[in-house]
Structure 1
Amino acid sequence: MRFLSLLVFLLLVSCKTTYRTVSINSISQNEIQRVYDFGKRMLETCKTRKFIQLSQKEVTESLSKLSLEEMQHACDVLDERNGKFIDMKLIEIIDDSFGSNTKIYRYKANFERNEFLNEVRIWVKPDGKFAGIIWKEWKDEYIPYK
């Protein structure tokens, strides 16, 4: 019986999905800068309120369908909670080859009001297209967004 309990425990532990952190130094500076520029441009539109429709050359089809009204609403929520965006710093890159086969860039973001740390998370597909961007409260441990 102990053996069976141990076997079940080992099976449960081994099935836990783990995510591989990619060394920032293993990614080209051009790609890191391109992702940073995309994230900063998206968050800066909240300041200027000059929203641009995203090009299918740059983003996946689902992200290119993001409406200007949806962008406006997201910015309204962000501005109300945090104030204006100031800057962000790359903390880690996650290789999500188990799920959506993307790289996930995690940034700590600085806003006018920092009552809690903020995260900006940007998904990049293997073809270089941006697949998503979100901002939320920072957690030290990577927790997949569902």
Structure 2
Amino acid sequence: MKNLFLLMFVALLTSCKTTYPKLSLDAVSENEKRRVYDFGKRNAETCITREFVQLSTKEVTQYVSGLSLEEMQNFCDILDKRNGKFIDMKLIEIIDNTFTNNYLVYRYKANYERNEFLNEIRIFVQTNGKFAGIGYREWKDEYIP
């Protein structure tokens, strides 16, 4: 009997999905959305120009500003080989992850020369306005951290 209850409890836990609240796109100012878009686009376009700019700690967290030029170059080489050149990106949703991680996640669908699969650019912005990270991955309709 104990095993049955334990099995039911484990099944209940694994069947529950963690959902992250989404902010309305109108809940964030146009200036803030533009600032985040410009940051993401500037980073994506550095792969085209190969003019990597060290980011200051006034704009980003220490982790992001600590990326080396070699790391950025290697990352761009992988993106270019897989997707081709970056064209643009479109904001799809903003995930409110301030409860657990103290940041918002801006999710963009990215457009590259080759779109064999949809690409996503995630930009993480802390509540203090600093950029905490940027990530590139295959687009999934559901937000999965």
TM-score (norm 2): 0.90
Residues 62-90 of structure 1 deviation map (CA, whole Å, 9 limit, x = unaligned) = 11101111110110000000000000000
Question: Aligned residues, how many?
Answer: 144
1:65 aligned onto 2:66: yes
1:133 aligned onto 2:143: no
Q: Shift of the alpha carbon at 1:16?
A: 4.0
Aligned equivalent of 2:112: 111
Residues 95 and 104, structure 2, Cα contact 8 Å, conserved in 1? yes
Which letter maps to 1:71?
A: M
Aligned equivalent of 1:22: 23
TM-score (norm 1): 0.90
1:47 aligned onto 2:53: no
**Higher mean displacement: 11-20 or 43-52:** 11-20
Superposition CA RMSD, Å? 2.2
Residues 19-49 of structure 1 deviation map (CA, whole Å, 9 limit, x = unaligned) = 0011110100000000000000000000000
Residues 98 and 127, structure 2, Cα contact 8 Å, conserved in 1? no
Query: Percent same amino acid at aligned positions?
Result: 67
Q: Any idea what SS the aligned residue of 1:121 has?
A: strand
Residues 123 and 134, structure 2, Cα contact 8 Å, conserved in 1? yes
What are structure 1's unaligned runs of at least 5 residues?
Answer: none
Structure 1 distance, partners of 2:16, 2:142, is 18
1:93 aligned onto 2:124: no
Which letter maps to 1:54?
A: L
Which letter maps to 1:136?
A: R
Structure 1 distance, partners of 2:37, 2:94, is 12
In structure 2, relative to structure 1, the CA distance for the partners of 1:9 and 1:29 (3 Å cut) is: same
Residues 3-25 of structure 1 deviation map (CA, whole Å, 9 limit, x = unaligned) = x57x8379627964220011110
Structure 1 distance, partners of 2:120, 2:57, is 25
Q: Any idea what SS the aligned residue of 2:92 has?
A: strand
Structure 2 distance, partners of 1:115, 1:129, is 33
